[in-house]
Amino acid sequence: MAIIIQSCQNEDSITYKRYYVNGKGLYEKNCQNCHGSDGKGLGTLYPPLTDSTYLIANKKKLACIIRNGQSEQITINNVAYQGQMPGNNTLADIDIAQIIVYISNSFGNKQGHYDQTEVAQDLAACK
């Protein structure tokens, strides 16, 4: 029994790591120009991804933001941002999940795993 739990945990952590590594590559290609390699954004042109409070509060909206983009005014850490984030029609659910794992576990965030299966649910609830 102990052995089985052990190996399950390992598998989870392997999945998590795979998501994280792939997510990093996808982030560099699709997001880093605007949000920066350190996730700090750029002035108030591009918002930071370093604020855990915002990311946790909007966890269920992240897939929608990444797929459809966003242009409404938002407030992060008392600073207002209003810009135009383009959508990403070419990213598959798995890509979106990997990107979410990467950003929500980098730049000072530590939210653990987010699975591919959650993307479809979250996308179905997009506004």
Partner 1 sequence: MKKLLYIALSILVIQSCTNQSDTKLPILGNREPVERTVDGKTIVDTIYQTISPFSYFNQDSILVTDKDFDGKIYVADFFFTSCNTICPIMHRNMLDVYKKFKDNPKVKLLSHSIDIKYDLPSRLKTYATKLGVEGNQWEFVHGSRDSIFNIAAKNYLVSAFEDSSDPQGLVHQGWFILVDTKKQLRGAYDGTKADQVKQLMEDMDKLLREEAANEK
Q: Is 103 in the site for ligand HEC (CB under 6 A)?
A: yes
Q: In whole angstroms, give the CA distance from residue 62 to residue 55.
A: 8
For ligand HEC, the closer of residues 10 and 97 by Cβ is: 97
Tokens standing for residue 91: 């990213």
Using the rule CB under 6 A, which residue among 19, 24, 31, 114 binds ligand HEC?
A: 31
The CB-of-18 to partner 1 minimum distance in angstroms stands at 28
Three-class secondary structure of residue 75 per DSSP: strand
Applying CB under 6 A, the span of 8-16, 84-92, 105-113, 114-122 interacting with ligand HEC comes to 84-92
Amino acid, single-letter form, for residue 57: A
